[in-house]
Structure 1
């Protein structure tokens, strides 16, 4: 009986890692949803990473208008893509910690090449490419993805849409909830109405 539970648990974990994902090279991007989250369409980039699939449910906003998504493998490995506006250089490379690195204050190693900057600190590494004012970062655990794979993927990073409409998105409008009172501390109104 114990073996059956282990099998069921393993199948459940496999579904969690694969469900809701799309092939990295496909255009399974819901631009409407991302615009509603405040993501600038011209910051939505995709990469091709052999052995990994883009986890569609992980797509979201980074900072004010940036884009982030995870790519996952069948073995449970993860690589994170983050795209935002910014600048980058050798000084910034050395002084900026790598996201999720352990230990957080690990010394950052920086190597600049024709693609961008390769950075490593503790148990994580990433490649950073700068295209105009667009900063593209692709990183993961040093045991999850190789340096060459990160470099090739970042070098081939492409916008999810090239329809020329990227800069014409309407401004983000706050959602009207309807359950927040106009006076008081702003807590939702959970009063029970007639019949309930």
Structure 2
């Protein structure tokens, strides 16, 4: 009886192996649901920015406030990450490199730390670095410790396609939205409120 069962199993193996191989191939498709690059670029243009200007970061206890995502300057990018306490990390990217002259002439304390500048004032602090002609800045209120800000600044990077899809607003022209301005209901009532473009470490 055992030999007969073994014979049946051996006979089924040639059929099982291709089936398992196909199943394995199906589970290894990466980014199958990610829009193509053309759609992502269209969504960036609809937000008045460029895909290469979209950066993201991560920090424990902070989540991206998606309705904060928008343009800064001509075609820059800005987004706010909010904690449960209402504290905010503001990420901004602009096409105007930060220079030593900017560091020296600003009203804040400004020192070089590795490849970044650290700026601080009584109202806030930030890390700024240049990346391919872009000024990449992460700003926080003084209530957020410097080491937390630095860790988030070190994790700041240009978004890949999956991250672009998660961050960029839907393109109204493609039917993904109404085209009307969206109320910023996900920003907390306390804290710094909406992102500002003030001069200095606070923005």
Query: Normalising by structure 2, what TM-score?
Result: 0.56
Aligned-pair Cα RMSD in Å: 2.3
CA distance in 2: counterparts of 1:115 and 1:152, whole angstroms: 14
Q: CA separation in 2, counterparts of 1:131 and 1:137?
A: 10
Q: What is the deviation of 1:88? A: 1.5
CA distance in 2, matches of 1:162, 1:151: 25
Q: Which range moved further: 45-54 or 84-93?
A: 84-93
Unmatched tracts of structure 1, length 5 or more: 1-26, 97-106, 164-196
Q: After alignment, is 42-51 or 150-159 more displaced?
A: 150-159
Separation of aligned partners in 1, 2:45 and 2:59? 25
**Larger radius of gyration between Structure 1 and Structure 2:** 2
Residue aligning to 2:134: 134
1:62 partner SS: coil
* Residue equivalent to 2:51: 41
Higher relative contact order structure (alpha carbons within 8 Å, sequence separation ≥ 6): 2
State the partner residue of 2:159: 160
- Asked if the contact 1:129–1:154 (Cα under 8 Å) also holds between the matched residues in 2, the reply is no
Hey, what does 2:191 align to over in structure 1? none
Structure showing the higher helix proportion among its residues: 2
Q: 1:123 maps to which residue?
A: 123
The number of equivalent residue pairs is 125
Per-residue Cα deviation, 1:86-142 (whole angstroms, up to 9, x for no partner) = 22222202324xxxxxxxxxx310110113000012211100011120111000110
1:56 aligns with 2:66: yes
TM-score (norm 1): 0.58
Query: Could you report, residue by residue, the CA deviation over 1:9-57 in whole angstroms, capped at 9, with x for unpaired residues?
Result: xxxxxxxxxxxxxxxxxx9xx9444320210110100011111101011
Structure 2: segments with no counterpart, 5+ residues? 1-33, 163-203
Preserved CA contact (<8 Å) 1:44 1:160: yes
Task: Indicate if the aligned counterparts of 1:128 and 1:136 stay in contact, CA closer than 8 A.
Answer: yes
Is residue 2:78 matched to residue 1:76? no
CA offsets 1:35-90 (integer angstroms, 9 cap, x no match): 20210110100011111101011100011110000000001111110011122222
